[in-house]
Amino acid sequence: MPDTLSGIAASPGLGVGPAFVVRPPDLGFETRGGQDPVAERVRLNAALAASRAEIEHVRERVRAHLGDEEAAIFDAHLLLLTDPELETAIEAGLRDGLNAEAALVGASDTFIAMFERLEDAYLRERAADLRDVRNRVLAHLLGRPPADLAALSAPAVIVAHDLAPSDTAQLDRSLVRGIVTAVGGRTSHSAIMARALGIPAVVGVGEALSTVPSGAVLLVDGDAGRVTVNPDAGEVAAAETWMRRAKEERTRLTALVGRAGRTADGVRVELAANIGSPADLGLALENGAEGIGLYRTEFLYLGRDTLPGEEEQYGAYRTVLEGMAGRPVVIRTLDVGGDKALPTLNLPPEENPFLGLRAIRLCLARPDLFRVQLRALLRASVHGDLRVMFPMIATVQEFRQARALLDEERARLTAQGVPVADHIQVGMMVEIPAAAVLARQFAREVDFFSIGSNDLIGYTLAADRLNEQVANLYQPLNPAILALIAQTCAGAAAEGRWVGVCGEMAADPLALPLLVGLGVTELSMSAPALLPRREQVLALDAGKARELAAQALTFDTAQEVEAAVRAAFPELHSLDARRLEPHA
């Protein structure tokens, strides 16, 4: 009977192929004392120079295939090669007479352990960056070349304890059927790169992965986080059927690219994409994005030793605006702090970071940081239809303060003769229940609302969707959530403002009729969801959706709401049944 390994769903899709097990080079060495520090420094410098040349080569390859944002990973690696604190620690080891290998590993492991103790998952996984750099330098010291994934010559599933960013960068997308790693999470570089390349991936499988031999057939389910070892003929056939139908479905849906989102009875519903970097633009446009409904700018800031300057930010925003060629681009200002800490800010730890100094609160507390981003946004505004959005607004005063800073920077740039677009829509996220309750008052201040459904649900129902013990309480269709969305839409309509949704609800086929029925006119989601949801919008009767939404607001439970949606729109079963379950 086939073995099934469970891990973290990191990149969607199914893939079948023989395992290509990546064996890292043997980096074992003997620690020796009484060495000549000068001679060891010469050896180390040579290894550092060779490593720098390799990293620069990989960076340029990634830039050519994936874009500047993914290539920026390797800028961080280059910085690690010259990190002053790490350099000081290595130098101390050399002065104590250690050989270069021992000095390098001893110093690096101290910093790796420090990263791994951090609470923030994104920053904790940055330990992989330092480990990658350390192993590269160590391999050069030992004269043992690293694993060469570029040597892959036939279709296969890549299996590894972990894949360093530089490993993933070597992958030939046309040959890789899937990626499976023993460690990592959704924010690890393996996962990020797999999604950018469109390769199904499961990470965090654990030590059980070490039992998988090279050549074993693997079925990778990147949606469910499962890997089947040596699946039987029926499972392979089901997977191949799914992949064939998915390809056919993709071909069929591609005909919808270019069609405006409009319901069967003529209600306009814009379908936009969520992105994290300019590298995501290609996939968004391939899937017919009518705009960018959420550009998460925090990825410019995370996983690095220095804050991005005005020029770097301006370049990223300009690239996205020009790439969208006049289509609307909603750029969310910095949404970090608390659980997504920036080490460069030296923020004190908080007992409850989700209710702490984060997002707009952090930006207002650090106007020096905020003004740099606002200036970059304003300068980029002349290159497209920019819309600025402030996250985690709880009070009208917060919005006014943020808007005032934006206006001040506009006036300053204008006085300096720097061109800025005449009109830039300025809106806010509705993530905190207070914002929905006071939607009418906020609507007098803003140009638009974008409902961040993930946080709105979490804050309203006091439930963490990642906590298995309370995940059942995280209910997108709970009548309380629908009531807050209805209140937001009513307040916006009274003042002539528009409302979008940029959380996972936007891509949920069950939620879509309710959102349209409540008055949402923009849905922003991950690019692969755009075409299926566009098809659903084109077939939707908005009048019927309004009747359903009004009825849903009278129900007591999420279960009643779901039953009513399915009864009103029986076609949802076929719309959402495109994914075969090869393990069923």
Q: Just list the catalytic residues.
A: 189, 502
Query: What is the rounded distance in angstroms from the CA atom of residue 210 to the CA atom of residue 207?
Result: 6
Question: If we measure between CA atoms, which residue out of 184, 119, 147 comes closest to residue 24?
Answer: 147
Q: Which residues contact 482 (CB under 8 A, 6 or more apart)?
A: 514, 518, 549, 552, 553, 561
By the 8 A CB rule, do 223 and 186 touch?
A: no
Residue 59 in tokens: 């960076």
- Distance in angstroms (rounded) separating the CA atoms of residues 12 and 223: 5
Token pair 């972990």 in the structure block, residue:
162
Q: Order of strands, edge to edge, in the sheet holding 3-6?
A: 3-6, 226-229, 217-221, 14-21, 156-160, 176-181, 201-203, 8-11
Pairing status of strand 8-11 against strand 498-501: unpaired
Selection from 164, 163, 201, 165 nearest residue 180 by Cα: 201
Give the separation between CA 430 and CA 411, rounded to whole angstroms.
28
Cα–Cα distance, 71 to 69 (Å, whole number): 5
With the CA atoms of 532, 533, 535 and 539 taken in that order, what torsion angle do they form, in degrees rounded to the nearest 10? Answer: 140
Contact 396, 432 (CB under 8 A): no
Residue 575 half-sphere exposure toward CB, CA atoms < 13 A:
22
Distance in angstroms between the alpha carbons of the first and the last residue of the chain: 14
Could you tell me if 147 and 135 are in contact, meaning their C-beta atoms sit under 8 angstroms apart? Answer: no
In 144-285, beta strands by DSSP E: 156-160, 176-181, 201-203, 217-221, 226-229, 270-275
